[in-house]
Amino acid sequence: MRIILLGSPGSGKGTQAQFITEKYGIPQISTGDMLRAAVRAGTPLGLAAKQVMDAGGLVSDDIILGLIQERIAQPDCHNGFLLDGFPRTLAQAEGLAAMGIVIDTVVEIKVDDEEIVKRMAGRRVHLASGRSYHTEYNPPKVDNIDDITGEALVQRDDDKEETVRKRLDVYHQQTKPLVDYYSVAGRTKLFASIAGVGHVNEITEKLFELLKQ
Ligand code: AP5
Ligand code: ZN
């Protein structure tokens, strides 16, 4: 099963990816998590990416396509994978198609911009795994502590309101056109849009229903 989750920053891609990857036994490939790992490791890629990410922009298509090509060649991807936060530009979608990858399902998770701005203020993340929580809507069992590892949760550097608004602009300009791209027959077996508001588990159920098809 090869799945793409499309959706604006904060639409819940990472939150839902956890449940889908667990159910289908496939890895979650989040280019954002990969870039944040490079930032923490202080690699040249991480140093360059940090500036772009903190400004709410996009890392170059060549770099991202290189990361993805390497990642999906790993043995754990042979039975499929879930792409979270990739592709984000038409060039990235075309680059993925040029690798000969056939995508089974592309789901767009739709949430209004103002709701996103509210969500991001309360988001807390476990950086090492990418797990995200919300202080009110999706709280950890213990305040500011990751449920699984017991490690501390933090706020992401790019979750300031000003940066979130910039990321939303970039989404509308560069990523939203992928909805039209994947609506064209032959580019994925199934394309669907779902509303990303409501309880986290209601959205998971909608996704599981779609993935059965
Ligand atoms: P990335 O890490 O991909 O960030 P993003 O797409 O902006 O998405 P987020 O991770 O912010 O949100 P999400 O949809 O995963 O939401 P979440 O589940 O956490 O990218 C970061 C940066 O890296 C980019 O800006 C760019 O610079 C660079 N980058 C990454 N990929 C790239 C690429 N392919 N090309 C170029 N550059 C790239 O949920 C958000 C919050 O809402 C949480 O607090 C959560 O608990 C809460 N929540 C979730 N569901 C619900 C619900 N149903 N109701 C209420 N709250 C909810
Ligand atoms: Zn995410």
3-class secondary structure, 36: helix
- d(CA 179, CA 115) in angstroms, rounded, equals 20
The residue ranges of every structural domain in the chain are 2-111+161-211
User: CATH code for 2-111+161-211?
Assistant: 3.40.50.300
Q: Which residues line ligand 1 (CB under 6 A)?
A: 7, 9-15, 30-32, 35, 52-53, 56-59, 64, 85-86, 88, 92, 119, 122-123, 132-134, 137-138, 158, 167, 198, 200, 203
3-class secondary structure, 25: coil
Measured from the CA of 203, which atom of ligand 1 is nearest?
Answer: 53
- d(CA 15, CA 112) in angstroms, rounded, equals 17
Ligand number, closest to the Cα atom of 37: 1
Q: What phi, psi does 22 have (nearest 5°)? A: -65, -45
85 Cα to the center of ligand 2, angstroms = 7
Whole-prediction pTM: 0.96
Question: Tens-of-pLDDT digits for all 213 residues of the chain?
Answer: 999 999 999 999 999 999 999 999 999 999 999 999 999 999 999 999 999 999 999 999 999 999 999 999 999 999 999 999 999 999 999 999 999 999 999 999 999 999 999 999 999 999 999 999 999 999 999 999 999 999 999 999 999 999 999 999 999 999 999 999 999 989 999 999 999 999 999 999 999 999 997
Handedness of CA 109, 110, 111, 116 (dihedral sign): positive
- d(CA 208, CA 158) in angstroms, rounded, equals 30
Measured from the CA of 135, which atom of ligand 1 is nearest?
Answer: 44
Measured from the CA of 31, which atom of ligand 1 is nearest?
Answer: 31
Active site residues: 13, 88, 123, 156, 167
78 Cα to the center of ligand 1, angstroms = 25
- d(CA 75, CA 45) in angstroms, rounded, equals 24
